Each structure stands twice: as C-alpha cells, then as structure tokens.
Structure 1
C-alpha cells in the first residue's frame, strides 16, 4: 500500500531526507505516532521519528547540513539517536535496533537491526507502521502486524506476545490505557488480560514517567475511560490506592451511601466538559479523597463524612509528594479547591448571609470561578428536576456573591490599613499587637461590622487598641 504524501505539508522535508539518505547509501523510514496520526487524519504531530538501518546519528548530521549548516544536532550516543529542531518541528533519527530486557529494568540492551526488528520492538501495532522514504518506493506503507486494520477497527494490540511486551517495558501498560482514553480505542482482550497479570511490574517504572501518561489520561475528552481501565487492571491500586478506598457501598439499618469512587469518575468527566485546566481536573479527582477515612454511621443521622474536605486537603500534599507531582503553586491550588469543595454547596442549602459569602470570597480569591465549576461538576444526580434546582441555586448564589464583591471588595483581600500604619499610629515596634489588630480589622470587614475602607479601619483600630491599653498619638 502506498501513502500519498503529495499534499503533506512536510513533503519538501521528506524529499530532502530521502535524497540525503540515498547519497549516503542509507535507508530511511518515518515511524511511530506521526504515521498513525497521518492515517487517522488527525492534526499532524510536530515530532517526527525517522529510522535508518545504518547510522542514525550520521544521517541526522548529514540532513542538518543540507537544511542549514548552523543547525545544532543534539546527539545521544547511549541510545544511538540524534535530534534536530527545524522550524516548528522536532526531527529524531535513530538506527533500527533489536532490544532485550532484564527483569528489574525497563532499560533494554540494544543491538543493530533491520526495520522489521525495529517494528517488532514497538508498543502497539498502530505505532509499528512505517512509511518508506527510499527513492524507489517513496511513500510505501510497511505494516507487518496489520496495524492499519487495527487502526480502522479502533483496537489496541501489541506486535508480539502481550505479556512479554508489558513485562519488558511496563510503562506500555499506562500507554495502552492512555491511548484507549485519548483515541477512544479498545484494548484487545489478550492485551488487557496481560496488563492485569503484569500490573505489579509498574513498580520498576519511575513515578515521573507514570505521571506523564496519567496526566494525558486526565486531559483526555473523557478521563473516566482511562481511570476505569486503571481500576479494572489493578494499576490504580498500585498508583493511587486512596481512590480505590472510595469504592463500594455499605448499608446499615437500611441506609446506604453512594459509591464515591464511581461518583468521582463522574465528577471528573463533568468538569472535563467545561475545562482543560489540568489541576482543576485533579481537584475533581481528589475532591472526595478524604471520605474513606472520615466515613461514619451515626445513629439517627445516617452516614456522615465530617471534615472530609479538610482531611482531603492534607492528603493532597502526601499524594502529590508520592506521585512526584509539582509541590508549589499547582499543589496548593488543588489543596485549596479540595478544602473549599463543599462550601458553596452549604451556602446554597442555607439562607446564605453576606458574612458567609464574604468569607468564601476571601478564601477562594481569584479561584472563585474555578470553585464554582468544580461544585457544578459535583452534581451527579440523575434526577433532572434536582439537577435543574441545584443549577438555579448556584446561579442565585453567584449573583449574590457578585453583589457582595462589588460592595465589599474582599476578593484577593488587601487590608485597608497596613502594619506600618498601625505602628506609626501608636509608636510601636513590630510585635504581636500589630498582628492582633490587623486580624481584628479583617474579621470586622468579613463580618460586615465595618466597610472595607481605610477611614473606618483606622477608627476601628483606635477603638480596639484602647482595649489593649494602647493610645494613638493623635
């Protein structure tokens, strides 16, 4: 089968690489994801991989000279690869190779091989196709494992025996689930069984590499596809066991609670319809993480999860640390979202006071809209009337919050009187009194006792300072 490359925007580049290879008696093929996406008519990747049966580094150097002698070639001798950045493209060149693995490492021993050997070592048949750039059969598809048929049928299958494929490089199990989630493909039964069998092997893979794949699942159109597969294969229990703890429904005295694991998957899917923000999606994933350890049956009340948001916020840090996720502003954002995840819902069910709304605005700050997006996603009832009622209540509270914000300006709150001003008023040095007075000003504004105004704040501080035995200089 021949692939028509005449309309391909990189045709000129492919022709040049073909000519350079011919001049140096080298073979060259386009391989991997670029071929897959081309056949799927997906947006072309800017990463293009080329394989030669000779020296990949030499081919890269010769191509770079033809493109522009000033281009830098990044060489990775250990892997026999070289990379060129050209315009908006990353071009990687590698020599065809065979691989063999040791039990406790996913780093293979490598030796030179043919294009067929190279295709055998690929993860899935849909990624094992190659397009020849040889001048005599330019554009010919080389597909020894029927990848194009699997592509058309939406099947994920390994080129060789699946258990061996996953045991050799366990990260491929995460990649299988990632492709199922991002492409909407089905993992072939033998392959899925092999992932279940080899799941424990994921422990030899660095958490950083696992999280690269996991975050791609989280950013897919419907993340629950991948998250369910991780649960079904046993991978989720090994990576985020806290989520598995949410599974199941208990019944006491005829009273049950919802399955918080599957509820969480619904919330993640709901939020994914409205945002591509990775850490907001993570907030949805972890919003109920504290429910398993706080679950309690109270006589006359039923099932309770008191303080699960606070505990979930604390758990978020240990989960991020273990998963080698960013521990700076991204983690703090998720912690804040988890901690506040039930607050707007409480305001909806109560007759919300301005004071409660001001406090929520103060605590959420610039992330108020994200918090509302999370709370709306948390509505998973199948009762359409209830859904409509909740949404109307949210809209009502959103309007009230806007009114309070316009009046009191407490979002991203900055005190109307500074510590330096307080020190000058009472001729004080830095000390606990300054902190006490600043905190009292903040509380008075949030409670609506005074306006968010410097004049009112100064008068308030003078009155409160007198209670502490302090007198203003004026």
Structure 2
C-alpha cells in the first residue's frame, strides 16, 4: 500500500489546523474523511469537508467554532450526533466515529459509538473510506485500510466489505456506485456489479426523493449515457424509470426497421451535455421521444411512424415529474414545452423557412428558444455525415432568421393587445368558447402578418369576424 502524507496539501486551509487544535483541547483524535480525501487525490474541487472524531462530533464542532468566532452559527443534529457550519466557501460537517447495523426493511441504521476502523468499515466504497489524520503524531498521514488509492489508480468502484451485505444494508449505495462511475469515468468492479444486479429489487425501500437525487447527479455527469447504460444493465432502470426502458428495441416488418430509441435518446443526451450543464435541458433530452412506443405505427408504404409523440410526450411530462418527485413548476413547464416543440425547427429545416412559421415558433418557445435549438441540434444522431451537415446548415438558416425576426418584432414576450376582457366588453359577452375563438383568430392574424399588433388593426379585424358570427358591437374603438 502506498504511503501518502497530505500535510502540505491541507496546510493551505486553516480549518484543518483549527480542528486539530480543537481536538487536542478535547483530548480526542480526529480525521478528515470521505469525498474530500478522494477528490484531493483525484485533484477535483470539493467544498464539502467531513470530519470524524473518536468522541463527540457535536463537542468538536462547538470547540472548533469557538476558535473561529464565538458568534459563528452552528447547526446541531443531536439525534444523529452531527453538527455543521459554513467556513468561507466550505460546508463543514462533524460526526463521531460510529458503527452501524441495519434491519432488512429499512435503510435507517442502528448506530453505536465506534472506532475509526469501524467507521471506515461502514463506508460505501473503498475510494470513500480513506481518512487523513489531524493528530499531532501523524498529522497529514493517509489512513487507507482498503487500498482506496489503488482503486483510484485502477479507476475502480468497489465496496470495502462484502458488496451484497453493503447493498442490502443501504440499497441507495447501488445508485451511488453508478453515480460515482458516471461522474469519475470509473468501472464497477465485477463482484460489486454482480451484487447490484442481484440486489436491485432492494431499491424499492428507498424514498423516491433519494433515488431522484442520485439520478440527477448521473444526468449531470460529463457522459450521462454511461450511467444510464449501467442502470439498465443492472436492472435498476427498469425499477426506477420503466418509461425510458420501454424505448429499447428495434421492431422490423417487411424488412423495414426503426432505430433503437433508447440508445438514440442517450446519444441525444450526451450531445446536449457537451453544450449545456442545465439539468432541465438534459431532462428534456431524456423525455423528448418518451411517447414513441405509444405512438408507433407501421405503414406498408412509408414504414414506421411516431406521429404525435411530441404532443403526447409533453402531456406525460407532468406525470413523470410527479412520480420522480421533481418540481411541478416552471422547470416542468420548460421541459414539457421543449418536448412539445422539439420537431418544429427540424420541420422548418426540412420544408423551407417562412417568416410566418418562424414567428409562430418564437411565440410558442418564448424564453426557451435557445434551449430548443440546442435540443434540436443534439437530436441529429445520424451516422450519415452528409445528412448531418445538411441539417446543421439548415438549422443555421433557421437561427439566423430567428435572430432577425426577434430583433425586429420582439416576439418572445408576445401578447396580442386585444385581450379577452376587451373582446367581452366590445360585444357584451360573458367568458365563453366564442370569446376564445375571436381571441385566437386575432392572434393567428397577427402571427400571419395579416394585421399589426395594434388596437386599431385588431378592432377592425374583430368587428369583421364578430359580425359574421352574429355579434353586435357595443363599443367603438375610441371607447375602449
């Protein structure tokens, strides 16, 4: 096992000497543990620092905070024996070393005080089971009982103890194994991988919030398709996201097949991830074709089609977000809008571009227009590079016209000046289907450049249409 000493590395941040000083005052040993140690070796930034002591984590936090500032706010969690405070840009946590045991029906452990070795035994993976001593006799020395450094060098995710016991005790660790593999570009060690496959059903005792938190971290990794493929290969994806698994497979009739929409979706996700770190853009990539299985039809002449999958998929977004415990707010609306519109720029690129079509797209996409174009470009996954170049060139034309018309007409926040309330007052109507028809007709006329978006033009158009429908105007233009 390699010998590491991080004395110089941790001397740059005063929090380590402060905790060491507090530990000495309390007469206890303390260590930096977990992800911060792992990322120090990997040279990755990490603003979360966890300290373990052989004693009371709460007392160590209190003593350290007093050395920093008597008025420093500390959060105490007495039921868990932990404490937390912020130190500059760092999130600092303290806990006493402990050993854990689990019941089969819960991931909540029975906790007892323990030694450093027992605390390291309860860690999820060897790369997270390392510690750095803050004690006077070996300050900065690495404590690595499971060769976590070696596994980092081998790029391996591996449990410290028997993996089936590790995952049975806390099934969320199966998701975490795949998350770390996806984030770090590591492989999962064979015995650990097989244990995830064997224990996959245990994920059902984990709350949806915790599962989704890990899933989002996979989605935000550099190459999220890797994590999704691992989820699928282990059987976890079928349990946590069956709608995505339903995209798998290719059906062939009369020698005509369609592409595998599962792997296409993962390619779109990877493509988009090179351009955007936004979680909700990435969710839109995941869900853009989610309704294809439900809309799949075969035509002897034309082959396979998925007509309407964009509209149905947009309607499914809310249900999927609700099941996943994702926010049912503007973020959900954005994803649904991107799913609904994702074919529109592609259709424009194929059929030729008109000002009217671009105006409509700008109005419907609103503030999501740049994200929509990112998704559309990512959706080009053809192996035919000539075809790819053709579509990208056409998208360039679409985007040029989008910019030109947006600068001229400011359509992102487009609203007809003739509102439903004004229409009702002109004809003395109550809220009704007819009011909606009149309002929509004015909107369409504006978008088709038939009339300007002014009260004068809208009033003239409205009176003409209303008269045809048998409505008598009660107000003149100047009375509005």
C-alpha distance 453-150 of structure 1, shift in aligned 2 (>3 A): same
Q: CA separation in 1, counterparts of 2:329 and 2:365?
A: 17
Q: Which runs of 5+ in 1 are unaligned?
A: none
| Offset, 1:54 | 1.2
Contact 1:361–1:410, Cα closer than 8 Å, also in 2 = yes
Post-superposition CA distance 1:155-204 (Å, at most 9, x none)? 11110011111111011111111111111111111101110010111111
| Offset, 1:452 | 2.6
Contact 2:427–2:471, Cα closer than 8 Å, also in 1 = no
| Offset, 1:357 | 2.2
Report the counterpart of residue 189 of structure 1 in structure 2: 190
Report the counterpart of residue 216 of structure 1 in structure 2: 217
Contact 2:164–2:199, Cα closer than 8 Å, also in 1 = yes
Q: CA separation in 1, counterparts of 2:344 and 2:158?
A: 46
5 Å-filtered alignment, 1:130-141, equals 130-141=131-142
Report the counterpart of residue 446 of structure 2 in structure 1: 445
Q: How many residues align?
A: 472
Report the counterpart of residue 42 of structure 2 in structure 1: 40
Q: CA separation in 2, counterparts of 1:74 and 1:443?
A: 57
Report the counterpart of residue 115 of structure 1 in structure 2: 116
SS in 1 for 2:349: helix
| Offset, 1:10 | 4.8
| Offset, 1:237 | 0.5
Report the counterpart of residue 21 of structure 1 in structure 2: 23
| Offset, 1:6 | 2.7
5 Å-filtered alignment, 1:120-159, equals 120-159=121-160
| Offset, 1:11 | 3.8
Q: CA separation in 2, counterparts of 1:247 and 1:179?
A: 25
Q: CA separation in 2, counterparts of 1:473 and 1:244?
A: 59
| Offset, 1:463 | 2.2
| Offset, 1:46 | 1.8
| Offset, 1:343 | 1.3
1:306 aligns with 2:288: no
With normalisation by structure 2, the TM-score equals 0.94
Report the counterpart of residue 360 of structure 1 in structure 2: 361
Post-superposition CA distance 1:3-62 (Å, at most 9, x none)? 23335465422112112211211110000001111111111x221111111111111111
With normalisation by structure 1, the TM-score equals 0.96
Report the counterpart of residue 428 of structure 1 in structure 2: 428
CA-atom RMSD in angstroms: 1.7
| Offset, 1:420 | 4.7
Contact 1:266–1:380, Cα closer than 8 Å, also in 2 = yes
SS in 2 for 1:137: coil
Q: CA separation in 2, counterparts of 1:26 and 1:8?
A: 19
C-alpha distance 9-131 of structure 1, shift in aligned 2 (>3 A): closer
Q: CA separation in 2, counterparts of 1:357 and 1:400?
A: 7
Return 293-302 or 159-168, whichever deviates more: 293-302
Q: CA separation in 1, counterparts of 2:297 and 2:420?
A: 45
Contact 1:14–1:133, Cα closer than 8 Å, also in 2 = yes
5 Å-filtered alignment, 1:256-405, equals 256-405=257-406
Contact 1:19–1:135, Cα closer than 8 Å, also in 2 = no
Q: CA separation in 1, counterparts of 2:15 and 2:399?
A: 54
Contact 1:5–1:11, Cα closer than 8 Å, also in 2 = no
| Offset, 1:348 | 1.4
Contact 2:164–2:195, Cα closer than 8 Å, also in 1 = yes
Q: CA separation in 2, counterparts of 1:463 and 1:472?
A: 14
Contact 2:6–2:142, Cα closer than 8 Å, also in 1 = no
Contact 2:427–2:473, Cα closer than 8 Å, also in 1 = no
Contact 1:291–1:305, Cα closer than 8 Å, also in 2 = yes
Return 352-361 or 439-448, whichever deviates more: 352-361
| Offset, 1:422 | 4.1
C-alpha distance 73-10 of structure 1, shift in aligned 2 (>3 A): farther
Q: Which runs of 5+ in 2 are unaligned?
A: none
SS in 1 for 2:181: helix
Post-superposition CA distance 1:296-351 (Å, at most 9, x none)? 11121211111111111122111111111111111111111111111111111113
Return 146-155 or 63-72, whichever deviates more: 63-72
Report the counterpart of residue 234 of structure 1 in structure 2: 235
1:469 to 464, 468, 471: 471
SS in 2 for 1:135: coil
Q: CA separation in 1, counterparts of 2:62 and 2:143?
A: 26
Contact 1:409–1:452, Cα closer than 8 Å, also in 2 = no
Report the counterpart of residue 73 of structure 1 in structure 2: 74
C-alpha distance 73-409 of structure 1, shift in aligned 2 (>3 A): closer
Contact 1:342–1:375, Cα closer than 8 Å, also in 2 = yes
1:5 aligns with 2:7: yes
5 Å-filtered alignment, 1:143-182, equals 143-182=144-183
